[in-house]
Chains A and B, each alone.
Chain A
Amino acid sequence: MAGTEADRLLVERVQAGERTAFDALVLKYQQRIFKLVSRYVWNREEARDVTQEVFVRAYRAIGSFRGDSEFYTWLYRIAVNAAKNAVGTATRNPVEGGLDIDDPEIGEIRTKLTDVSSPEHLLCAEDLKRTINDAIGALPAELRRAILLREIEGMSYEEIANAMHCPVGTVRSRIFRAREAIFIRIKPLLE
């Protein structure tokens, strides 16, 4: 699975008292956790606060993380609990009455409804996706294939090397070059 070894190394560092290593975990997972929390928490600002709270809770509890499961699985559980608590304590929107917040489909609908209420935010994410898709389309075929096998299929470098009939070092280089090409395209949007 993607970056599990990197997570393990980072967690070990955090457990050894290096807080900056936790920042790397925050930067890595903030989008996924934010999306997950947004499925439960209606308000964007509140979703951001809850996401932040998820990481605060994770940091405080990281001493008890034994690595029996993947770090993201552990973080996911914290996020779901925090989001449910936030929904439970917040004033419920009458529109939500009777909806099952555990139902992912309902969560998706809520997210879309929220998107409508904040078009500038929707535009921001959609812009980014479009730019990335454009960048992917503009990549040489071998770079595109390498990055998609890695990011979408979750294949290891060795598996990609076998699939593409090339050395592992070449795969590493192709994936890096693909990321760089995309990074250059999205940088103006993010800074």
Chain B
Amino acid sequence: MLSDILREQISAFMDGELPQEESALLLRRLANNREVGRCWQYYHLIGDALRDELAPEIARDMTLGVGRALEKPVARSRLRRFTTLAAGVAVIGLAGIVGGLVSHQIEGGGKVFAPGRGGSPQQSILPRQVDWRQTPSPVQTELSQYLLMHDLYAPQLHAPASPAGSPMTSANPSGAPHRQAARN
């Protein structure tokens, strides 16, 4: 049971008429004493009723509900933060795996994942990669053709002249090699 002095202080404080030094003490009690809080609540309820500021249903003490609600979002935000972190780690991990697979395919010449080549029984779930090093480029093709033609038709050093005139040697009636002739 609260003393009359304390109740009168509560009454004066809610009207803003309590001296500052008394207010500080009362505030401490208001925060820690449930009885003081209830007195505070009911005195205000009387004022609200006199001013016709009551809803049809009287709101009961909402402090507990507010307190609980203030706790909830903290837990939710922690969960959200954890989920975000986990998702971030998962994305980075997945990116690493995909990068590793692609890099492995490029470096391994696609042999590991190429079906029908033997070796690994595993098959890549990724689209089949093209082995650019095994596919001759247009420049390479041209060079190969040139060398082939060179081997076929170019006169060889220290080799006997072709009995039959070839398109390349027909302009040399002596049959001497071009380079030899040039030196002479």
Q: Which residues of A contact B (CB under 8 A)?
A: 2-6, 9-10, 13, 18-24, 26-28, 30-32, 34-35, 38, 44, 47-48, 51-53, 55-56, 59-60, 111, 114-115, 118, 121-122, 124-126, 128-129, 132, 136, 147-148, 150-152, 156-157, 168, 172-173, 175-176, 179-180, 182-183, 186-187, 190
The stretch of B6-14, B142-150, B153-161, B175-183 in contact with A is B6-14
Residues 16-51 of B, flagged 1 when their CB comes within 8 A of A and 0 if not, give 110000010001001110000101111111111111
B66 to chain A: which residues have CB within 8 Å? 22-23, 26, 52, 55-56, 59
State in angstroms the CA–CA spacing of A39 and B40 once bound together: 26
Does the CB pair A187–B42 fall under 8 Å? yes
Chain B residues touching A, majority SS: helix
- Tell me the smallest distance from the CB of B32 to a CB of chain A, in Å: 7
Q: Judging by beta carbons under 8 Å apart, are B59 and A30 in contact? A: yes
Q: A2-B15, A52-B69, A156-B17 are in contact. Are A38 and B56 (CB under 8 A)?
A: yes
Q: Is the CB of B42 within 8 A of A26?
A: no
Could you pull out 20 A-B pairs where Cβ atoms are within 8 angstroms? A3-B15, A9-B23, A23-B31, A23-B37, A27-B40, A27-B44, A31-B53, A51-B59, A52-B62, A111-B55, A122-B57, A125-B58, A128-B58, A147-B50, A168-B17, A175-B11, A176-B4, A180-B7, A187-B42, A190-B42
In the assembled complex, how far is the CB of residue A90 from the closest CB belonging to chain B, in whole angstroms?
A: 18
Write the nearest CB–CB distance from B56 to chain A, whole angstroms.
Answer: 4
Measured CB to CB, the nearest residue on chain A to B5 is A176
B167 interface contact, C-beta 8 A = no
Across the interface, which residues of B come within 8 angstroms of A4, CB to CB? 16
A3 to B51, CA, bound (A): 15
Nearest-CB distance from A137 to chain B (Å)? 12
Asked if B65 lies at the interface with its beta carbon under 8 angstroms from chain A, I say yes
Inter-subunit contact B49/A129 (CB<8 Å): yes
B54 within 8 A of A: yes
* Residues of A with C-beta under 8 A to B17: 156-157, 168, 172
Residue of A nearest to B68 (CB): A52
Given the complex, which residues of B lie within 8 Å of A55, measured CB to CB? 62, 66
Indicate whether A35 sits within 8 Å of B53 (C-beta atoms), given known contacts A23-B63, A176-B8, A182-B46. Answer: yes
User: Contacts A6-B14, A114-B56, A124-B57: A151 and B62 contacting too (C-beta < 8 A)?
Assistant: no
A2-B15, A56-B69 as given contacts; A44 in contact with B7, CB under 8 Å: no
Taking A35-B53, A186-B42, A187-B42 as contacts, is the C-beta distance between A2 and B16 under 8 angstroms? yes
CA distance A148 to B66 in the complex (A): 32
How many residue pairs, one in A and one in B, have C-beta atoms under 8 Å apart? 171
Choice from B47, B49, B56 contacting A2 with Cβ under 8 Å: B47
Other-chain contact of A5, B16, B48, B54 (Cβ < 8 Å): B16
Interfacial residues, chain B to chain A (CB-CB below 8 A)? 4, 7-8, 11-17, 23, 27, 30-32, 37, 39-59, 61-63, 65-67, 69-70, 73
Task: Please report the C-alpha to C-alpha distance between residue A133 and residue B30 in the assembled complex, in whole angstroms.
Answer: 28
User: Given known contacts A6-B14, A24-B30, A129-B49, is B58 in contact with A51 (CB within 8 Å)?
Assistant: no
Known: A13-B27, A23-B31. 5 other contacts (CB 8 A): A21-B27, A30-B62, A32-B53, A35-B53, A124-B57
Shortest distance from the beta carbon of B28 to any chain A beta carbon, whole Å:
9
Nearest-neighbour CB distance to chain B for A122, whole angstroms, equals 5
Shortest distance between the CB of B65 and any CB in chain A (Å):
5
Chain A residue numbers with a CB within 8 Å of B39 are 183
